[in-house]
């Protein structure tokens, strides 16, 4: 803490100032805060598991340990990886270069997708139909680009042009590493950038993408082909292993009609280069040192990271990202205590109770809508720590000396696993995050809140800490995830996960007014020189925090400590609650990463998450004696109360 600061002036520094001063971002990281400290702890725990598993002499063939150990060992074998250079992708590059017309471009793109090579041109996945969530449907989305957002192609300020140049250098370098002359590689870079820029122009913004109705466009496959005649979807989807389907969900029809025009107006030679680039960029992090270094130089321009993440850390993340549910089984065996699950169940049930009270007491919502909101609240499915049914990657071949092929095989396996869900009942046991992940999520079509084992640790959760710490930490996280079901996007889904309005028009208008006020509050936060928080992009997360912290506080006040005034280490229970919340969000971030976060991340920066909700809560004013004249002071009438 920094007790020299007045909490009402700068609650962030008051709660975390000394820590922030003493904990700069390490050279191999882009940000450093509570999340990162716990992630660092977890990745080291994972490293130990992986190192030990890789060294086992007697692991049975096909066993969990053997497969996980071999995957990691192969990734750590930099001698073999370096010796191979770019030979693992030579054949793919040749195939990409052999296309002769637009039809072959599309066929090759489909093959690349099903072979785990790359996903060029557009996005594709199989997921629940949000107007009929018991059905799995093929879904097409805008895509085709490489930079983290369309803005990077379209903006011309100094920060953006510097990144554009770094991206072009990256393209040039990867091509020259495969024997292309410098001049030809530079030309390729221009070709690719211009082509991707056109795709970026066709894309919707992230804010537009948050609208679940606007992004819901259902087509009969034959009708969709009529709007994009060059993309023969019947043939294309068959090549993409999608069979027995007559409809498709499209998130942006405009993107695909523009792509259709682009396909016919662009020379095939350019598409050839584009396909080769897709092979190169997907493979680069898994190839020899020169490729990895080129990839890092590009990452550096985007994030500001000073030195490369060590190989063990990259391979630990890669193992988690590729065969995470095998690794997860070993992780929870060693690091998750069943008592924590019971305590979490209790916390969740207390949060739901508090939320119920709050919904019942809302002064702006009619009884009819309240009834629907309560029905939704009681229909939430919580998932805690790890899946009841683990994915075992049946049939995925992993060998100890073929790292690149292992990654490829996993890509193919994941693709086949995804398309195999078509025509089957929705698998409700599935998880969207792995067990060691330090995060949590709400999934509106499942109406579920999910908390991986990784986040169920200090500073979020500690069975030995006082309630103030747990309610201000994991309690607020639980409340946050519940609130996603009631944020500007999640509130458009009903209790069964169907995208369907359950609000009266008057209640919806009042809700939107409150949301707009919160949007304005966040729009006013300046992050870096001219960069502001995007109130619209971050609205869902900010409603999540505001609803979540209020519900957590309500639940905390039901505990013995919440009802008492007994100080611990000089702080009242309420002060400890808000300090726990603040310290969860403390963190330093490199300016380059902060700039990227504002464009791409729907979460507000930690500093503004720390203060964004408390400044709307009367209890925070009382706890820290915040008065008119203090910098963070808001008049009682201006304090935003949503959930
Ligand atoms: Zn969230």
- CB distance 398 to 70 below 8 Å: yes
Tell me how far the alpha carbon of residue 117 lies from the centroid of ligand 1, in angstroms.
Answer: 31
- Spatial distance between the Cα atoms of 594 and 471, rounded to a whole number of angstroms: 28
- 202 burial class (0-12, 13-18, 19+ CB within 10 angstroms)? buried
pLDDT tier, 338 (very low <50, low <70, confident <90, very high otherwise): confident
Task: Look at residues 538, 485, 482 and name the one whose alpha carbon lies nearest to residue 515.
Answer: 538
Instruction: Verify whether residue 232 is a known catalytic residue.
Output: no
Tell me how far the alpha carbon of residue 444 lies from the centroid of ligand 1, in angstroms.
Answer: 12
Relative to beta strand 526-528, strand 132-141 is unpaired
Tell me how far the alpha carbon of residue 439 lies from the centroid of ligand 1, in angstroms.
Answer: 9
Q: Any long-range contacts for 623-629 (C-beta under 8 Å, 24+ apart)? A: 623/572, 623/574, 623/575, 623/577, 623/578, 624/7, 624/8, 624/11, 624/14, 624/575, 624/578, 625/8, 626/7, 626/8, 627/8
Tell me how far the alpha carbon of residue 483 lies from the centroid of ligand 1, in angstroms.
Answer: 9
pLDDT at 124: 98
> Mean per-residue pLDDT for 330-346?
93
DSSP state of 455: G
3-state DSSP helix/strand/coil percent for the chain, to nearest 5? 60, 10, 35
Over the Cα atoms of the chain, what is R_g? 25
Task: Look at residues 615, 352, 377 and name the one whose alpha carbon lies nearest to residue 486.
Answer: 377
Tell me how far the alpha carbon of residue 603 lies from the centroid of ligand 1, in angstroms.
Answer: 7
Cβ neighbours, 10 Å, residue 458: 17
> Mean per-residue pLDDT for 109-128?
98
Strands (E), 523-574: 526-528, 531-532
Tell me how far the alpha carbon of residue 541 lies from the centroid of ligand 1, in angstroms.
Answer: 5
Tell me how far the alpha carbon of residue 479 lies from the centroid of ligand 1, in angstroms.
Answer: 10
pLDDT at 202: 98
Task: Look at residues 329, 437, 336 and name the one whose alpha carbon lies nearest to residue 391.
Answer: 329
- Spatial distance between the Cα atoms of 610 and 615, rounded to a whole number of angstroms: 9
SS3 at position 324: helix
Q: How far lies 607's CA from each of 12, 38, 533, 545, 612, in Å?
A: 6, 18, 11, 13, 9
pLDDT in tens, 52-96: 999 999 999 999 999 999 999 999 999 999 999 999 999 999 999
pLDDT at 147: 98
Task: Look at residues 6, 11, 3 and name the one whose alpha carbon lies nearest to residue 549.
Answer: 11
pLDDT at 530: 84
Tell me how far the alpha carbon of residue 604 lies from the centroid of ligand 1, in angstroms.
Answer: 10
Mean pLDDT for the chain overall: 97
Catalytic residue (one of 258, 481, 507, 574): 481
pLDDT at 597: 96
- Which residues have CB under 8 Å from 324's CB, separation 6+? 434, 435, 436
Tell me how far the alpha carbon of residue 535 lies from the centroid of ligand 1, in angstroms.
Answer: 14
Tell me how far the alpha carbon of residue 480 lies from the centroid of ligand 1, in angstroms.
Answer: 6
Instruction: Verify whether residue 630 is a known catalytic residue.
Output: no
278 phi/psi in degrees, rounded to 5? -65, -35
DSSP states along 146-184 = -SSSTHHHH--SHHHHHHHHHHHHHHHHHHHHTT--HHH
DSSP state of 444: T
Task: Look at residues 246, 254, 243 and name the one whose alpha carbon lies nearest to residue 220.
Answer: 246
Is the pLDDT confidence value at 463 over 90? no
> Mean per-residue pLDDT for 420-426?
97
Alpha-helical segments (H) within 203-241: 206-209, 221-227, 233-239
CA torsion through residues 572, 577, 580, 582, sign: negative
Is the pLDDT confidence value at 8 over 90? yes
pLDDT at 425: 97
> Mean per-residue pLDDT for 184-205?
98
- Which residues have CB under 8 Å from 501's CB, separation 6+? 492, 508
- CB distance 179 to 276 below 8 Å: no
Tell me how far the alpha carbon of residue 50 lies from the centroid of ligand 1, in angstroms.
Answer: 30
Relative to beta strand 132-141, strand 247-250 is parallel
Q: Which two tokens stand for residue 479?
A: 């409340």
Tell me how far the alpha carbon of residue 446 lies from the centroid of ligand 1, in angstroms.
Answer: 16
Q: What is the largest CA-CA distance in the chain?
A: 77
- Spatial distance between the Cα atoms of 470 and 576, rounded to a whole number of angstroms: 10
Q: Any long-range contacts for 521-527 (C-beta under 8 Å, 24+ apart)? A: 521/612, 521/615, 521/640, 522/604, 522/608, 522/612, 525/604, 525/605, 525/608, 527/594, 527/595, 527/598, 527/605
pLDDT in tens, 542-565: 999 999 999 999 999 999 999 999
pLDDT at 528: 84
Tell me how far the alpha carbon of residue 437 lies from the centroid of ligand 1, in angstroms.
Answer: 14
pLDDT tier, 520 (very low <50, low <70, confident <90, very high otherwise): very high
């130990």: which residue's tokens? 48
Catalytic residue (one of 92, 545, 554, 592): 545
Tell me how far the alpha carbon of residue 481 lies from the centroid of ligand 1, in angstroms.
Answer: 6
> Mean per-residue pLDDT for 436-453?
97
Q: How many residues does the chain have?
A: 643
Q: Which helix (H) or strand (E) holds 313?
A: helix 311-335
- Spatial distance between the Cα atoms of 635 and 301, rounded to a whole number of angstroms: 43
Tell me how far the alpha carbon of residue 540 lies from the centroid of ligand 1, in angstroms.
Answer: 7
- CB distance 411 to 417 below 8 Å: no
pLDDT at 472: 98
- Spatial distance between the Cα atoms of 112 and 95, rounded to a whole number of angstroms: 10
- Spatial distance between the Cα atoms of 574 and 436, rounded to a whole number of angstroms: 31
The pTM of the full predicted model, rounded to 2 decimals, is 0.96
Q: Any long-range contacts for 451-454 (C-beta under 8 Å, 24+ apart)? A: 451/344, 451/382, 451/383, 451/384, 451/385, 451/477, 451/478, 451/481, 452/385, 452/386, 453/328, 453/331, 453/332, 453/335, 453/336, 453/385, 453/386, 454/38, 454/39, 454/42
Q: What percent of the chain has pLDDT over 90?
A: 98
- CB distance 22 to 438 below 8 Å: no
Is the pLDDT confidence value at 529 over 90? no
32 phi/psi in degrees, rounded to 5? -150, 115
Task: Look at residues 268, 282, 270, 280 and name the one whose alpha carbon lies nearest to residue 93.
Answer: 280
Tell me how far the alpha carbon of residue 162 lies from the centroid of ligand 1, in angstroms.
Answer: 31
In sequence order, the β-bridge partners of residue 499 are 493
> Mean per-residue pLDDT for 320-329?
98
- Which residues have CB under 8 Å from 462's CB, separation 6+? 469, 470, 473
SS3 sequence of 344-358: HHHHHHHHHHHHHHH
Tell me how far the alpha carbon of residue 548 lies from the centroid of ligand 1, in angstroms.
Answer: 10
């Amino acid at each position: 803490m920094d007790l020299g600061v007045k909490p009402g002036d700068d609650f962030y520094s008051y709660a975390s100032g000394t820590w922030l001063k003493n904990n700069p971002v390490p050279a191999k990281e882009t940000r450093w805060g509570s999340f990162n400290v716990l992630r660092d702890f977890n990745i080291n725990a994972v490293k130990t598991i992986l190192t030990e598993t890789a060294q086992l002499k007697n692991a049975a063939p096909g066993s969990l340990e053997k497969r996980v150990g071999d995957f990691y060992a192969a990734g750590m074998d930099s001698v073999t990886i370096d010796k191979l250079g770019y030979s693992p992708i030579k054949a793919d590059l040749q195939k990409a270069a052999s296309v002769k017309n637009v039809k072959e471009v599309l066929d090759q793109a489909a093959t690349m997708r099903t072979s785990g090579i790359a996903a060029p041109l557009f996005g594709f996945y199989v997921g629940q139909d949000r107007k009929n969530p018991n059905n799995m449907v093929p879904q097409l989305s805008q895509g085709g680009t490489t930079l983290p957002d369309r803005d990077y192609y379209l903006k011309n300020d100094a920060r953006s042009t510097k990144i554009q140049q770094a991206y072009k250098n990256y393209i040039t370098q990867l091509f020259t590493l495969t024997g292309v002359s410098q001049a030809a590689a530079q030309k390729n870079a221009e070709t690719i950038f211009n082509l991707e820029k056109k795709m970026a122009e066709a894309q919707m913004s992230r804010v537009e993408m948050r609208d679940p109705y606007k992004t819901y466009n259902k087509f009969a496959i034959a009708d969709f082909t009529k709007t994009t005649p060059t993309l023969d979807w019947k043939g294309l989807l068959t090549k993409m292993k999608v069979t027995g389907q007559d409809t498709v969900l499209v998130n942006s029809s405009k993107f695909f009609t523009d792509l259709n025009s682009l396909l016919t107006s662009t020379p095939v030679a350019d598409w050839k280069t584009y396909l080769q680039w897709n092979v190169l960029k997907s493979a680069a992090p898994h190839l020899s040192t020169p490729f990895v270094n080129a990839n890092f130089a590009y990452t550096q321009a985007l994030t500001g990271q000073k030195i490369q993440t060590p190989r063990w850390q990259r391979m630990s993340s890669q193992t988690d990202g590729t065969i995470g549910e095998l690794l997860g089984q070993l992780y929870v065996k060693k690091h998750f205590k069943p008592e924590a699950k019971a305590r979490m169940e209790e916390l969740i049930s207390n949060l739901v109770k508090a939320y119920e009270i709050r919904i019942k007491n809302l002064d702006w919502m009619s009884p009819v809508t309240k009834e629907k909101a309560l029905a939704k609240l009681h229909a939430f499915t919580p998932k805690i720590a790890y899946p009841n049914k683990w994915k075992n990657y049946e049939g995925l071949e992993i060998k100890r000396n073929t790292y690149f092929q292992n990654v490829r095989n996993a890509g193919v396996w994941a693709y086949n696993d995804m398309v195999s869900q078509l025509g089957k009942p929705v698998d409700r046991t599935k998880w969207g995050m792995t067990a060691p992940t330090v995060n949590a999520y709400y999934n509106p079509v499942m109406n579920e809140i999910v908390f991986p084992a990784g986040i169920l640790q200090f500073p979020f959760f500690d069975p030995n800490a006082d309630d103030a710490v747990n309610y201000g930490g994991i309690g607020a996280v639980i409340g946050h995830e519940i609130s996603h079901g009631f944020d500007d996007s999640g509130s458009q889904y009903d209790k069964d996960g169907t995208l369907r309005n359950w609000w009266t028009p008057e209640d919806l208008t009042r809700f939107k007014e409150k949301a707009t006020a919160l949007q304005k509050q966040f729009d006013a936060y300046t992050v870096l020189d001219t960069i502001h928080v995007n109130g619209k992009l971050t609205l869902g997360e900010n409603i999540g925090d505001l609803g979540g912290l209020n519900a957590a506080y309500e639940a905390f006040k039901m505990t013995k400590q919440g009802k008492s005034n007994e100080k611990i280490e000089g702080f009242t229970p309420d002060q400890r609650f808000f300090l726990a919340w603040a310290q969860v969000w403390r963190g330093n971030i490199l300016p380059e990463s902060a700039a990227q976060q504002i464009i791409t991340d729907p979460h507000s920066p930690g500093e503004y998450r720390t203060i964004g909700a408390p400044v709307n809560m009367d209890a925070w004013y009382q706890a820290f004696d915040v008065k008119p004249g203090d910098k963070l002071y808001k008049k009682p009438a201006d304090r935003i109360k949503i959930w």
